[in-house]
Amino acid sequence: MSNEDMWKAYSRGMAAVMNEGGVHVSALLLRSYRHLNLTDSDAILLLQLMLFRESEGVEFPTMEQLAERIGSTPRVIEQMIGRLMKEGFLTIDERIDSMSGIQSEQYNWAGWMLKAAEWAAEEKRETRRAERRTVQRTTDASNIFSVFEQEFGRLLSPMECETITGWLDEDRYADELIRFALKEAVFAGKLSLRYIDRILIEWSRNRVTNVDEARAHSQKFRGPRG
């Protein structure tokens, strides 16, 4: 057989395989199923139900058919389907043929698609929230650097900027609390980041989370400023 004949035979074989049909599976279903607490076996079972209907025209395969396809037992398949129905991933719809009046059943996996779509929407919302928090923290950091430079009367060094960033990003101190600690340091005449860090640590140990609590805590050790 010549090379040309071999390629023609290969092409005919590929065409025959593609004509057998297939199933379009949304990438979202594959990306989200673990987040929806579906196991690999659950996902394969649902995909096989799709394959039976969309590629083979079988809308309600038997437990035996599914078990053979997946490599399990009818009893296990029955339990899996029962659980998927209970959790809202799968339903069984009844329908009546308008011509013959014959009633039949079919599996409906719209619940899986809905849950995947809801997960994707929540993921997108969380991504946007994270982006907004990042932008806000960047803005806060930029503003707080300016406040420190104004009080210090000079530009901050890279190490000082890193320290302040650490208070925001690692220690999770509120921006307003850092600003108030700076005021406390100015009031005490001890304008250094080391002193301010000790103030923040002391507040953290005493569960101080906002300016009002910080002011009350400070006044325990000295009278009102008048």
Rounded distance between C-alpha atoms, residue 98 and residue 102, angstroms:
8
Which of 46, 79, 108 finishes a domain?
A: 108
Which of 46, 77, 108 finishes a domain?
A: 108
Given a contact cutoff of 8 angstroms between Cβ atoms, the answer to whether 93 and 109 are in contact is no
C-alpha dist (Å) from residue 207 to 200, 201, 216, 219: 10, 10, 12, 16
Q: Do 84 and 37 have their domain in common?
A: yes
Rounded distance between C-alpha atoms, residue 84 and residue 91, angstroms:
8
Given a contact cutoff of 8 angstroms between Cβ atoms, the answer to whether 29 and 112 are in contact is yes
Report pLDDT for 18: 41
In a domain, 2, yes or no: no
Q: Do 90 and 153 have their domain in common?
A: no
Given a contact cutoff of 8 angstroms between Cβ atoms, the answer to whether 110 and 136 are in contact is no
**What DSSP element (H or E) covers 14?**
helix 3-19
In a domain, 210, yes or no: yes
Range of the domain at 147: 128-219
Q: Which amino acid is at 140?
A: D
In a domain, 40, yes or no: yes
pLDDT digit of tens for each residue in the chain (226 aa)?
A: 666 665 555 555 544 444 455 677 889 999 999 999 999 999 999 999 999 998 888 999 999 999 999 999 999 999 999 999 999 999 999 988 778 778 889 999 999 999 999 999 999 888 888 777 666 666 656 688 889 998 888 998 889 999 998 998 888 898 899 999 999 999 888 889 999 999 999 999 988 888 888 888 888 765 544 4
In a domain, 132, yes or no: yes
Rounded distance between C-alpha atoms, residue 124 and residue 31, angstroms:
14
In a domain, 10, yes or no: no
Q: Do 145 and 77 have their domain in common?
A: no
Q: Do 155 and 186 have their domain in common?
A: yes
- Domain with 43 in it: what CATH number? 1.10.10.10
Q: How many domains does the chain have?
A: 2
Q: What are phi and psi of 199, to 5 degrees?
A: -60, -50
DSSP annotation string for 30-88: HHHTTTTT--HHHHHHHHHHHHHHHHH--SS--HHHHHHHHTS-HHHHHHHHHHHHHTT
In a domain, 80, yes or no: yes
Q: Do 99 and 142 have their domain in common?
A: no
- Domain with 166 in it: what CATH number? 1.10.10.630
